[in-house]
Structures are given as C-alpha cells and as structure tokens.
Amino acid sequence: MDQIPFVSSASNSLGIELELQLINPRTFDLTAAADELLVQLSNHPLVDRIKPEITRSMIELNSSVHEHPVGLLAEMREMRDVLCEAADAVGVSVAGGGAHPFMRWQDRSISDTPRFQYLAEMYGYLARQFTVFGQHIHLGVSSGDAAVRMVQGLSPYIPHFIALSASSPYYEGVDTLFSCCRLNAVSSFPLAGHMPPEVTDWYQFEAYMAQLRHSGLAESIKDLYWDVRPKPEFGTVEIRVCDTPLTVERACQLAAFAQALSVLVTREPQPATSAWLAYRSNHFQACRFGLQGSYVTAGGERVRLIDHARELFRKLEPIAEELGTGDMLSQLRDEALRNGNDARWLRGQFHRVRDLPTVVESMTRVWRGERDVSASTEVPRRRIRATSVPMMGDVQALATPEPGLNAGWNADRLH
C-alpha cells in the first residue's frame, strides 16, 4: 500500500481560496477574460496567488497562511483591490456569489491547462456547468491522524457552513428556490459526498485511497469532491461547501468561524455513528432553506438550523475570545441571525429592481466595497416551509420566469 505523506502545519493556522466571477460591465453576463486578466497581473508581486479556474470566466484568489483572521482580512482586501484595478485595466468587472444569476453553461470556455482539459473530456457538460464559485477554507493540522479526526468532527456542522455562506439563489435566469444551488453542480460528480465514517485514522485513509486507485475510481485526492477533505501536501483540512460570499469581510468571518469550530471539535468526542443518518438530509435542508431549514441532531432531535446555529455560536464565544476573534465571530452571528445570508440579500435586490443584470451590477459594487451588503431589502415570505409540501405556486416559479427576468436576453434561453 502506498503511503501518502502528510506535511505538518501549525494547529489553528488558516487560509482561504475564493473563486470569483468575471463580468462583462455592459451586459453583466460572465465573460471569458481570465487569460487577459492574468497577463495584466503578470508582473505584480501577488500574481502567484491569483490563478485560473476550470472555465475562463472564473478567477481564484489564494491567501497565504495566517494565524489570525484579522491578518487574513487585510491580505484579502489588498488582493481584492489589486484584482479590481487589473480588471478595470482590461475592461471587466469582478463579483462574488456562488453562481452567476443568468449565465448559460453552454457559453463557457474551458481553461487551457492539462487538468482542466482532462476534466472537460472526462465529465462532458458537467465541466462547463461547474462554472460555480466557492470559498474553500484551509485549517492547519499537525498530522494525518489529526486531519482525519478533524474531517469527521467538522462533518455534522457542514449544514451551518452552507447556510451561513449561501449566495446562489438564481441560476440560468430562474429563482431555483434554493439558498445555495451551487452544490447541486458539485453533487453531480461521482466522488462527491463525505469521508466514509469508518475511516478514523490516516492509515485507514491511505488504505481507502489505495482501494480507490486499485479499482480505477480515483487517481488522487483531487478526485474526491468531498464536502470536507484532507489536503496532505498543505498540511490542512479543507472545507469546500461554502459559496463565495459577496464580500471579503464575510469570507474572513467564515474563516474565523471555522477556526473556532476546529478548536471546539478537537475538545469534543468524535461524532456518534447516528450522526451520519441525517447527513444528506441536513445537507439538502441547508442548501434549500438556508438557516430556516430543519436539522436533525445525532440524538435524532429535529430542530431549526437557525436555533442550532445560535446555540453553536454561544459555545464558540469563549473559544473565539481565546483566539482573539470574538469581534469577527459576533459580526457573522449578528448579521446572519438578523438579516440572513447573501442569498436573502440577492433576492431582496431582485424584488426591488426586478432585473437580474441590475442585480449582478450591484454584486460587482458590493465586491469592491462600494455598498454595504448588510443593507437588507425585505423579501416577501413564501408560504413554503422546510417541513411542508411544495405548493403549486412555488413549483410553477421554477418553470415560469418572474416579471423582469427576460430583460436583456431572450426568454427562450432561460432553460
């Protein structure tokens, strides 16, 4: 059995990756400008932290390693400003958000790297549909055994990350009724999901990977589209379920939340076997309803996710004070519990302007820091609830564009 070396990292260190949308400032559709943007940045000291992604309408920011989220925030603000300056020079805009509200996957162009070309050949149209935008959070761990324990310990809290970061309610011109529709694209890949519960140490993980290779199911850990997975060459555990937030401030607050949670799970017992019973259902509820979804605990109790999150924030408060991140954690908590996630803000914007290109324009302004993302616009509440049967009016919304959705493009291109 081949061993997989694990590079030790400092515990509680962290870093993030942000996948961002490249926007045509006239149509507010996606534009294939990654190559031009990278050329523009080629002589900048930060160029090695700004990378292409699977399609040319995407760009990725990679932070350095930090002990404290405040330093991470300073770096991400600098990278945002550098990226926006370069984008202005080549005539494009940049936005956060987990999915572009009205792009067509058929129009996407695969980036010219061997890895991405292989994915396009292997997965067909799924590769172009993978033009969705996520935040990955890396947490430093000391060993492979610690990484496996961390992966398993974080798994019950995956719905909380999904709901807090959700920013992809619209897709191909339609309100999907999901807070996070991005993960539906990720779930299409054959090795999506989570680490098997029976894997409890690094030796068992190595044996599992050897079995996958021997069976021809995976060549490397990169083929595992898990919600959270080890990253041995970095010495980290990587949380992969977050939509890219609309601002770097929210992205770094989520990193502070992850850092505090990583400390909590090292102090708690490993999840009971019963914790996996509701894993997929809890995942769906968070994607569909955000913080208003249902959450089934390891003990079988059904609660509202927002109530479980409120109690989790209470448990994390003393840990955040130890880490010196109490302010960032309280900002995330207060904003999320008071105004909801970015998906709610995006729906509020559409309810106000009734035009998706204008919503995208507001996303580009918010990314620059020109407008406060917390400025909430009230959204009329749907009657559907996480535990109710969908009503015909809500189902019809998936098939019939809302007024204003066809502004700027042809209605027959929406589906």
- The CATH number of residue 247's host domain is 3.30.590.20
Residue 276 has pLDDT above 50, yes or no: yes
Q: Which domain holds residue 122?
A: 109-406
Alpha-carbon distance 87 to 85, whole Å? 5
* pLDDT of amino acid 413: 31
Distances in Å between the Cα of 139 and the Cα atoms of 66, 69, 98, 359, 375 are 10, 12, 21, 33, 31
Per-residue pLDDT tens digits for 330-366: 999 999 999 999 999 999 999 999 999 999 999 999 9
User: Is-contact 61 94, C-beta < 8 A?
Assistant: no
Alpha-carbon distance 136 to 211, whole Å? 27
Which residues neighbour 389 within 8 Å (Cβ) at sequence distance 6 or greater?
none
Cα–Cα nearest to 170, from 325, 351, 13, 297: 351
Alpha-carbon distance 353 to 349, whole Å? 6
* pLDDT of amino acid 147: 98
Three-class DSSP category at 292: helix
In a domain, 345, yes or no: yes
Residue 252 has pLDDT above 70, yes or no: yes
H or E stretch covering 59:
strand 58-62
Residue 157 has pLDDT above 50, yes or no: yes
Residue 376 has pLDDT above 50, yes or no: no
Cα–Cα nearest to 258, from 283, 234, 233, 241: 241
In a domain, 269, yes or no: yes
* DSSP-assigned letter for residue 58: E
* pLDDT of amino acid 54: 78
In a domain, 374, yes or no: yes
In a domain, 217, yes or no: yes
pLDDT level of residue 371 (50, 70, 90 thresholds): low
Residue 390 has pLDDT above 70, yes or no: no
Average pLDDT over residues 180-189: 92
Cα radius of gyration rounded to whole Å, the chain: 20
Per-residue pLDDT tens digits for 81-114: 999 999 999 999 999 999 999 998 778 877 777 8
In a domain, 3, yes or no: no
Per-residue pLDDT tens digits for 33-88: 999 999 999 999 999 999 988 788 999 999 999 999 999 999 999 999 999 999 99
Q: What tokens does 135 get?
A: 């935040």
How many Cα neighbours within 13 Å face the side chain of 83?
Answer: 32
Q: Where are the alpha helices (DSSP H) in 216-304?
A: 248-267, 279-289
User: Is-contact 225 130, C-beta < 8 A?
Assistant: no
Please state the domain count of the chain. Answer: 1
H or E stretch covering 137:
strand 134-140
Residue 176 has pLDDT above 80, yes or no: yes
Residue 291: CB atoms within 10 Å: 25
* pLDDT of amino acid 340: 95
Alpha-carbon distance 113 to 123, whole Å? 15
Q: What does the CA dihedral 192, 123, 51, 146 come to, rounded to 10 degrees?
A: 20
In a domain, 223, yes or no: yes
In a domain, 173, yes or no: yes
Angle between helical axes of 158-165 and 248-267 (0-180°, round to 10): 170
pLDDT level of residue 259 (50, 70, 90 thresholds): very high
pLDDT level of residue 30 (50, 70, 90 thresholds): very high
Alpha-carbon distance 228 to 157, whole Å? 11
Cα–Cα nearest to 94, from 78, 82, 102, 110: 82
Alpha-carbon distance 269 to 282, whole Å? 20
In a domain, 69, yes or no: no
* pLDDT of amino acid 31: 94
Q: What tokens does 19 get?
A: 């996948």
pLDDT level of residue 117 (50, 70, 90 thresholds): confident
Q: 55 versus 15: which is more confidently predicted? A: 15
User: Model-level pTM?
Assistant: 0.89
